Structure 1
Amino acid sequence: MRRDEPSWVPTFLLAGAFLALLAVPVLAWQSFWTRITFGGPLEPEAKVHSDHLMVAALIIAVVAPVVGIAAGWWLRSTGSIVVMTVVLSVTVALGLFAVIKTYHPPEPDPWPTHCQEHSGGGNECPGD
């Protein structure tokens, strides 16, 4: 026997996913204001707290749309699936942009780190 009406569980999950997405800008805003020092040095505890808020915002921003897509599929709600897919795509794009923007490759050493032999018998070693 097949039920035509959806259960309350996917509806609750879909509503929860939309509400969780509202928490993302709040967490990002709190993280931003945690780093504001007004001219003083940034305390290590404030940096750690700010980083934790951003990680929480990132986790919610990825998990909530995935739950929303699953609940929309369960409810057969095409609109919800489309909206949550767009939100997930934007989240992934912004996350990749942030990673690329903050990644700084290590600079190569200007000096050799080991001895180099030269023809003619001379060696050049670092620090000599």
Structure 2
Amino acid sequence: MGDEAGWARLAGDRPGRTSPAPLVLVWLAWVLVPPLLVFGGAIGSAPFFGEEPTAAERAQTTTLYLVAVALALGLPLLGLALTWRTRRVAAACFGAALIVAAVPAGLLLAQEYRGAGGGPAPDSGPPVCQEHSGGDNRCPGG
């Protein structure tokens, strides 16, 4: 029994302290998951081969952005709650992460609220008439 207490002291475990493993998982999830969700949303709403995204693709993009914002703000908040009493340095780091995540999350929510990516492309002028061989001419004026 005394041997286990010695290993616990060497590992830095004290009564009332949480294990560092969940904290590392929260950090990794915060660093990896929200940026990947934002990237997936950006790819899902990008026009490929000149075709605009459909309404379903825009809805999926909005969902991915909202989940990314929720995780970007929720994971540091969870880490802050886990470390508030026992690990002051880790709590300060999670608080800083929460502040850092608030700025891009606010910008992303503002962009989605304005609907910057959801509307059709602006009109670039009158349509251009292209004549084709082997048929009648449908261009105005000729």
Tell me if TM exceeds 0.5: yes
Which TM class, normalised by the smaller chain length?
0.5 to 0.7
Tell me if the contact between 1:13 and 1:67 (Cα under 8 Å) persists in the aligned partners: no
Instruction: Name stretches of at least 5 consecutive residues in structure 2 with no aligned partner.
Output: 1-12, 115-142
Q: Which amino acid aligns with 1:87?
A: A
Query: Percentage identity across aligned positions?
Result: 18
Instruction: Give the TM-score of the pair, scaled to structure 2.
Output: 0.59
Q: Which amino acid aligns with 2:66?
A: V
Superposed, which structure 2 residues align to 1:1-128 within 5 Å?
4-5=14-15, 6-8=17-19, 11-21=20-30, 22-38=32-48, 39-74=50-85, 76-99=86-109
Post-superposition CA distance 1:47-79 (Å, at most 9, x none): 0111111111011011100111111224x2222
Instruction: Give the TM-score of the pair, scaled to structure 1.
Output: 0.65
Deviation of 1:99 (Å) = 4.6
4+ runs deviating over 6 angstroms: none
SS of residue in 1 equivalent to 2:84:
helix
RMSD: 2.3
Q: Which amino acid aligns with 2:63?
A: H
* Count of residues in Structure 1 that have an aligned counterpart in Structure 2: 99
In structure 1, the residue matched to 2:10 is none
Instruction: Name stretches of at least 5 consecutive residues in structure 1 with no aligned partner.
Output: 105-128
